[in-house]
Amino acid sequence: MTAPRLILASGSEIRVKILKDAGLVFDIARPSTDEAAIKTRMLREGADPESIAAALAEAKALSPRAPGALVIGSDQILEYEGRLFDKPASRREAAERLRELRGRTHSLINAVAVAENGRIVFRHLDRPRLTMRALADEEIDRYLDAAGEGVLASVGAYQVENLGARLFARIEGDHFAVLGLSLFPLLGFLRERGIGGF
């Protein structure tokens, strides 16, 4: 039996790295999903953060038309005190985000979906909890100086896989879900489909 072609519907460098480091062979297709419109509509309808993350992951997985392929979509939402956050648009916004989260615990909701022939065949949701150290303003400024523009690619204005690890006192949950792609459940599904086993 020939394993199906694998596609990652994402422009995220960290998701590409996670899958490559796991030894998977795949193509990349940037999804044509209007994430803001989906999120706005669902928030207006009173949807919870988990449902929004799942809907976004599924929309991304369904975005590329690739008959016979398995298409991976993933989304991550930062939730703190009932509010959802988007990626910071500027260094100033990143600093404000870090000041708001310092000394407190927030959640990163990570949803993964796989589509095949226009229907979702796999879903998984993770909700790691991250507790940030009580950082001084000067520490935040020094971190942003050292980390550079890369922090704007992270919804929390940190990158745990790099210098951002030093901002935290504790992380509870799946490491890969924190990075943006719940790897182990996905690998389990892919093995069932003849991909990624030994």
Q: Which residues have a Cβ under 8 Å from the Cβ of 42 and sit 6 or more positions away? A: 51, 52, 55
Cα–Cα distances (Å) from 194 to 14, 73, 187, 188, in that order, read: 24, 19, 10, 10
Contact 159/99 with Cβ under 8 angstroms? no
Distance CA 177, CA 144 (A): 23
- The tally of CA atoms less than 13 A away on the side-chain side of residue 119 is 1
- What's the DSSP call for residue 155? T
Only one residue has tokens 């939730």, namely: 79
Give the bridge partners for 172, in sequence order: 129
Query: Does residue 75 have an active-site annotation?
Result: yes
Identified catalytic residue from 75, 86, 137, 145 = 75
- The tally of CA atoms less than 13 A away on the side-chain side of residue 123 is 13
Distance CA 22, CA 175 (A): 14
- Which residues are marked as active site? 75
